[in-house]
Amino acid sequence: EDQVTQSPEALRLQEGESSSLNCSYTVSGLRGLFWYRQDPGKGPEFLFTLYSAGEEKEKERLKATLTKKESFLHITAPKPEDSATYLCAWEERLGPSGGSYIPTFGRGTSLIVHP
Amino acid sequence: KAGVTQTPRYLIKTRGQQVTLSCSPISGHRSVSWYQQTPGQGLQFLFEYFSETQRNKGNFPGRFSGRQFSNSRSEMNVSTLELGDSALYLCASSLSGVSYNEQFFGPGTRLTVL
């Protein structure tokens, strides 16, 4: 059974203290792993898509990486405005041999960056 | 360019009633997906519409339904509301919907069922 786990559930950092969020998966035939950021009371905002092991993508202080078992979202020198919940998502196959996929989201990591 | 809009933003209903939520996607986007977000279950996929056809459906009861119009605007309907339907309902649009890559989410409709 496909499974994805995000850790930690919550993370508190001081401004400038770099860290990483983890999304570990056991998904057969991963078609893409997505990272989103969600601010309280708002819809998620797309950050990155990673398709294959070894792939990396960067955006400002964020860098997403993918291995065969997990994805990391590295946050370098975070600022208070980086505080949000970070969600990873993937496409889950419907049925053992079906050609349809549905988007499935992890429970997220709640990040708070203190000034 | 304008983002995804959802109306209404807040809604209070009582058990047994039905509700219709509306979503206007980004101009040019033909795929619209609906999600339910609760503290207990997180963000869960309801269904996706592309060119007025439902392409995929998540694991929700038949009380949850939707449709898409020729201008790509979409509505979702929940009949016979239950207390557990209280949630933030989000819609997201994307260009083609070949995969669920790079979806743009609206602000959501906060539904409270009393």
In this complex, is the C-beta atom of B60 within 8 Å of any C-beta atom belonging to chain A? no
Which pLDDT does position A100 carry in this prediction? 76
pLDDT band at A80 (very low <50, low <70, confident <90, very high): very high
SS3 content of chain A, % helix, strand, coil (to 5): 5, 55, 40
Q: Do B101 and A34 touch (CB under 8 A)?
A: yes
Q: Which residues pair with B10 in a beta bridge?
A: B110
Cα–Cα distance between B49 and B47 in angstroms, integer? Answer: 7
DSSP A2: -
pLDDT band at A24 (very low <50, low <70, confident <90, very high): very high
> Nearest-CA distance from B39 to chain A in Å?
9
In this complex, is the C-beta atom of B45 within 8 Å of any C-beta atom belonging to chain A? yes
3-state secondary structure of A48: strand
**CB-CB neighbors (< 8 A) of B100 in chain A:** 32, 34, 89, 91, 101-103
The residue among A70, A30, A103 whose CA lies nearest residue B43 is A103
> Nearest-CA distance from B58 to chain A in Å?
7
**CB-CB neighbors (< 8 A) of B55 in chain A:** 100
pLDDT band at A27 (very low <50, low <70, confident <90, very high): confident
**CB-CB neighbors (< 8 A) of A101 in chain B:** 56, 99-100
Whether pLDDT at A30 is above 80: no
Cα–Cα distance between B3 and B106 in angstroms, integer? Answer: 7
Mutation choice for A interface testing from B32, B46, B53, B100 by most A CBs within 10 A: B100
Q: What is the mean pLDDT of residues A60-78?
A: 96
Q: Do B102 and A49 touch (CB under 8 A)?
A: yes
Residue with tokens 């000034």: A115
Q: Do B90 and A43 touch (CB under 8 A)?
A: yes
**CB-CB neighbors (< 8 A) of B99 in chain A:** 31-32, 91, 101
CB pairs under 8 A between A and B: 56
% of chain A surpassing 90 pLDDT: 71
Which pLDDT does position B47 carry in this prediction? 95
Burial A79-88 (b: 16+ CB within 10 A, else e): eeebbbbbbb
How many of the other CB atoms lie within 10 Å of CB of B109?
A: 21
Which pLDDT does position A1 carry in this prediction? 64
**CB-CB neighbors (< 8 A) of B42 in chain A:** 105-108
Cα–Cα distance between A5 and A57 in angstroms, integer? Answer: 21
> Nearest-CA distance from A5 to chain B in Å?
13
List of chain B residues with pLDDT < 70: 1, 97-98
pLDDT band at A62 (very low <50, low <70, confident <90, very high): very high
